[in-house]
Each structure stands twice: as C-alpha cells, then as structure tokens.
Structure 1
C-alpha cells in the first residue's frame, strides 16, 4: 500500500468497479479517496467520460475528477476468457459496483448470484436509473431524465417561468452518494454475518429521497408544490434579495431571529406587525416583507448588507461563483481538493471526498488512470494469488 494512503479507513478493501459515466464512478471515487483499491474494468474503448470535455492536452478533466485514485484494466466482457479473468478477480474483492441496465451483468455471466456463489462475502451493488424492479426498470436514464421524473425540475425555477434543471448533475450525485452509503452498510453487516448482500440503488429513488421538504408537503399535507424561484417554499425571509450591486442570500427561520433581523434593518416595529407574527404568516406576506428588505438594502452593496446582518448573527451570504467557492479560504482550509501528479497534465487539482477522519491525511493520492494502465500489474497480482 502506498505511503500516502497510510491511515485511510478503507485501506485493504478491494472494489471491482464496472461502472462508467458519473453516478457509479462518483461512488467508487469516494472509496478510492479513503484508501480502497478500486480496479476500474473498462471496455477496450474506455469509459464514455474519457471522450467528454472539458479537455486539456487530450485528457478529459471530467474523467479525471471522478476517477481519481483508481487502477484501470480494459477487457472485452463478451470474451469468455475475459469473463473468466474477471470472475477470478472478483473472488479477491470485497465490493463489486456496476451500473449497467438491469439484466446485462447476468447475460455476461457476472450477475450477483454467480459472483456471490463464487465469493459469499462479496457485496454486490447495482446502480441504475430506476432500480431492479418496477415499470421503468428497462428505461434508459440520464440525470436530466431523473430530474424531470422526480418532480425536481417542476419545483425549480421562477413561479411564472418554465421548469428548470438544477445546475449540476444532482440525480447522478445523489445516486452515487446513496450507493456509497448502501455499500458501506452492507460491508458493515458482512463483518457481523460473514455474508455479502446484493444492494439495489436507483437514481430516481435517490433523488426523490433528497427532497424532504417536498415529500412532507406531498405525502403529509396532500399538496402538489409549484415553483417559488429564489424564495423558500415555506419560510420567510428565506431566499435571495436585491442590494445595490447584486443579490445576497438570507435565512431567518424563527421568531427570535426575526426580531433581531428587524432591528438590524432598521425596522424593529416589523417584528410586532400582525402580517409577520409567525413564519407561516411571513411566507404568506413575503412580497411585503421583501419590499422592506430591499428598500433597506438598496443603498448598500451586497458585501455591506451581508456584513451588517452577520454582525447581528443573521445567516446571510454573498452569492459567489463556483470558481470563487473552490478558491475560498474555507474550501482551502477544509482541503476539499487535492494535488496529484498526472503524467500528461502535470500537477493538477482534483476534488476529494468531504468527510474528515481524525488522523487521516487528506493530501496525496493518484490521478485517474490511463486506459488499461494497470493491466500487467493487476494480472500479475491475480496470478500470484492463484499460486498461494
């Protein structure tokens, strides 16, 4: 094991990763960040993300971001000899992750039942658009399809505008996160029972589960929520508001904080206004409340407004670009990205998993592999294991 991986919680765990594009690779990158040996099985053409930009010096930076720290072995899984080699490799593994459409791995002779018959301790995780059951089981899915079908797009955007896609592939990321969580639960269970389990994760299920406010309104209150733009659906003032040079974000969620807020913006009497007597009433009368806030902020820059509110303990923030967020002192202090040395791109920064474990160094690691880079190394390890 490399010295830069010492002390990582998943050192000694082996993951065979058949996944490609985003959700599955995002999941297995989290494992690699924490010291697991992730062997990425690719087709001879490579993961689709190797051919999706942005590019630098012929390398996909998107592929680099979600395949950091892995090893690559390219195989044609329609070749019986390749399948035989993969089955032997899975005998050495703790976890298999695949995101083919349901039924594909079974047809290849690499389904959960087959591999767990070979290796009863194996955790086998299937990640797909709609899971292993249901009327949509064979339906193709990308992030935008899941956003559309989950209701996410319907509740996102301006009230008088069209449904809006979230500005990041949240459906894929949600699926990747729940896949990592499900795999770890199954691995924990295996340590107590000695047997692995087949884990079924769907992007649709995952994204739907990531919307608890909407779920409460639909399942509990019988509502069918619509779009509220940059305002919270249930609370106020909770959203974005205009200052002299742009907008800032604000979150006031209880009566005590609202009274403090009213003093901060020079309207202490607003805390006793019957229209604003509760969070529910404040949301119902949000346009009038927004008028008070934006009249106050009209003579201030966003920075000045945020500083004045923060001085009173009011949660407020400027709206930063993604570049500003990644370069912020907070992101730097939390070490949310790491430096790796790539053979073509040289020194580069890649994102890394955000959870801090006491005693674990966050720097170091290896870049995403070139296609089939580790063939000789992996097959030599396999032969060595067979001779023991």
Structure 2
C-alpha cells in the first residue's frame, strides 16, 4: 500500500460517459480502489458507443467499445439497480465502506432515492461526495442536462476556436475531443484530493459541486483576462496566435509544420535560417508588437519562405537553430514517436475477453508513488458477486435473491 498514493482510499463511482469516469480513472491510477456502479444489462452508455470495439485474439469484436476503454481502467464493475429500494439499501451498505462517492446524475435525481449527500452523510459522516453536472447544483440552468458540445459553445470556447471568419472554412469549431468533460474530470479529481487532505486534518467530509460550464469558463485562462483587461472579446485566429507572430502552422513542401517563435531572437534565427535575414531588420517586423501589427504583410512572406523546404528539413534546421517548431502528427506517428514511447505513454495489460488490451498511460511521473495499472477496464458486472460477498459479507442466498429480482 505504501507505493500507492491513494492506496488507503475507496471510491464509489456512480458516474458514466466521460467527465466522472475520467476523474475516477485518475484516482484509480494513483491507487484508489474504485467500484463502478452500472445498470444491470446495459452498463455505462459508452460501452456501446462504437465501432470501433476491442477485438479478441481471433480478431472478433468483444462488444467493449474503445470509447469505454479510454476512461475506465483500474476499476471494478458492479451492477446494481439503484432505482429499487433493495438496490438503494445495497448502495448505502457500500457507502459505509467508501471514502468518496462520485455521481453525475441530474440535479435532484438521487435525492428521490435517498442517495444525495445529506442522506448518505447520515450513513458515513466523513463522506466526500462529488457531484458533476452540466451547470451545477444551483442557478437558473441547474435543471438542464449538460453536454460537452453545448458547453463548449456556451462557455466561449468555440468563439475563439476555428479559422478566422473571413477565411475559407471560417466559423466556430469545437475541439476534437470532449475538452470540457475531460477538464471537468481533472478538476474533480483535484477537488477530491483536496477534500481528502482536509478530512485527514479535520475529520470532516464535504460536498463538491463541479459544473462543466464553470470549468469551460475558467479554462479560457489568458483569453478571459485579455477580454477583462481590454473590454474587447477575442476572435477566432485558427492556427495563428492573437498576441505572438509568427506562432502558427505553415505549409512546407510536403506537409505542414508548426513554428512557435516566442521572442525576437528566435524570429531572427528563423528568417536567417530561411535565407531572408532582411526580414529581421525591417522595422515593421523587428519586434513582436510590430509583427503583430503587420501580420498581414509578414505571414505571406514567411509562408513563401517555408514552402521551399520539406517538413523534415525545416524541423532539423530549426531545432538545430533553437527555434521552437514541431510536426503535426497523426496518431500512428504519435505512438511511433520515440519520446512518447520512452515516457511509457502506451502500455499493454491482460484483458478477460480480448487477451491483451493496449491503453494510454498516465502522464503523472512520480518517484515514490507512480501510477499503477492493475486492472483493465472491467466487463459489465465482472466484480459484482465478489464485492457483495467479500466487502459487504453477503451470503450466497442473499446474492442469488438480488440476481433473481434483477437488482444486480
């Protein structure tokens, strides 16, 4: 247990889809025991969000969607119908043995089952209860269902993402991943850790209220403060940067590269390596504020310069010259990258139906308590009987009765 940062913590995970499961998976990576509660017969919605599905050693689909695999390693799966009085009684028994409850039901839905924070802290007074919703537990939108795509729009993200309106393909664009879900999951994990530290000092549990919209607004970072400082709403710049030039993609002779010049010295080296040193001495381009003002004149000149060489030539040249740059990789190139491989960002582990499963590693690198990968994403209900008999001490006849009634 000493090499697991959260080896002393048990989490009851009532969440599904992405934000909540992402939080729970991060806690599991750090050693927490996570019990995922799923609906009998159906489970987490994302189990069926395919194709693609995980394949077994013969190449046949296992029925486990790749989407589900992304957010559920390290957990045990227990099926339980919490809409029934019997299921609610079992859940309360589980809460007595758990430090943390995670849930992402609509506001008020668990209260009618007697499974809200106030009800469950009567069962365990030091309970940490984390609720993840679209809009939070209060406010005029609290009753609304929250979806990542909608929140990306409402929270301002899509107003600054996408090609500039005046250019071909311009207009609002969502992120290629469910970014507000994922960031909410990360904020939720951080909040749970803070609550655990507070409980260690005081013995007190607490309720945590995470909202996708709050997170989406908060994560706009410097774009927020640029607006608050100037009173002018930022606009879409596509792959360019509103405050730094050149800091964008360029087309090389055989594909695209990213050039991310952060200061005037790097800019001078860029144009010198490209055979255009006069562009560093031109007063319109000599400093970053000047380059931002004269972006429309400079960028076409740089684009013509960069088109003369291949991606590989530019990357090698600019890296040697100390100019920040990089390729735009597909995922095949990402997982073949020697740096990604050296950092252990891809690993394999045994899987009960596929034999082996490839998963993406945690980015956390810790010397004393590194992430541990001990359980693959579980099959639906894989651990139900073991939890009931082992953790709760239920007799076999009681377990059989629950199964006969469809409660597990």
Give me the TM-score of the superposition, normalised by structure 2.
0.90
Task: Name which structure has the greater RCO, CA cutoff 8 Å, separation 6+.
Answer: 2
1:7 aligns with 2:3: yes
Match of 1:275, SS? coil
* Distance verdict in 2 for CA 1:274–1:108, change over 3 Å: same
Aligned residues: 382
Aligned-CA RMSD value: 1.8
Aligned match of 1:51: 48
Instruction: Quote how far apart the aligned CAs of 1:10 are.
Output: 1.1
Give me the TM-score of the superposition, normalised by structure 1.
0.94
Aligned match of 1:144: 149
Q: Which residue, out of 361, 373, 380, partners 1:352?
A: 361
Instruction: Quote how far apart the aligned CAs of 1:300 are.
Output: 0.4
Runs (5+) with no aligned partner, structure 2: 55-60, 396-408
Runs (5+) with no aligned partner, structure 1: none
CA contact (8 A) 2:227 2:234 kept: yes
Instruction: Quote how far apart the aligned CAs of 1:207 are.
Output: 1.7
Q: Which residue, out of 114, 117, 122, partners 1:112?
A: 117
Aligned match of 1:281: 290
More off after superposition, 279-288 vs 103-112:
279-288
* Distance verdict in 2 for CA 1:360–1:182, change over 3 Å: closer
1:371 aligns with 2:380: yes
* Distance verdict in 2 for CA 1:104–1:82, change over 3 Å: same
After superposition, give the CA deviation of every residue in 1:25-64 in whole Å (9 maximum; x if it has no partner). 0110011111110000111121101111122312212112
After superposition, give the CA deviation of every residue in 1:323-382 in whole Å (9 maximum; x if it has no partner). 311332111111123312111111111123211110445564211111111111111233
Aligned match of 1:29: 25
Instruction: Quote how far apart the aligned CAs of 1:277 are.
Output: 3.4
Match of 1:104, SS? coil
Aligned match of 1:16: 12
Instruction: Quote how far apart the aligned CAs of 1:261 are.
Output: 2.6
Match of 1:153, SS? helix
d(CA) in 1 for partners of 2:369, 2:226 = 41
d(CA) in 2 for partners of 1:301, 1:123 = 55
CA contact (8 A) 2:148 2:178 kept: yes
Instruction: Map 1:87-106; keep pairs closer than 5 Å.
Output: 87-106=92-111
d(CA) in 2 for partners of 1:185, 1:77 = 28
Match of 2:216, SS? helix
4+ runs of 1 displaced by more than 6 Å?
Answer: none
d(CA) in 2 for partners of 1:248, 1:323 = 17
1:40 aligns with 2:45: no
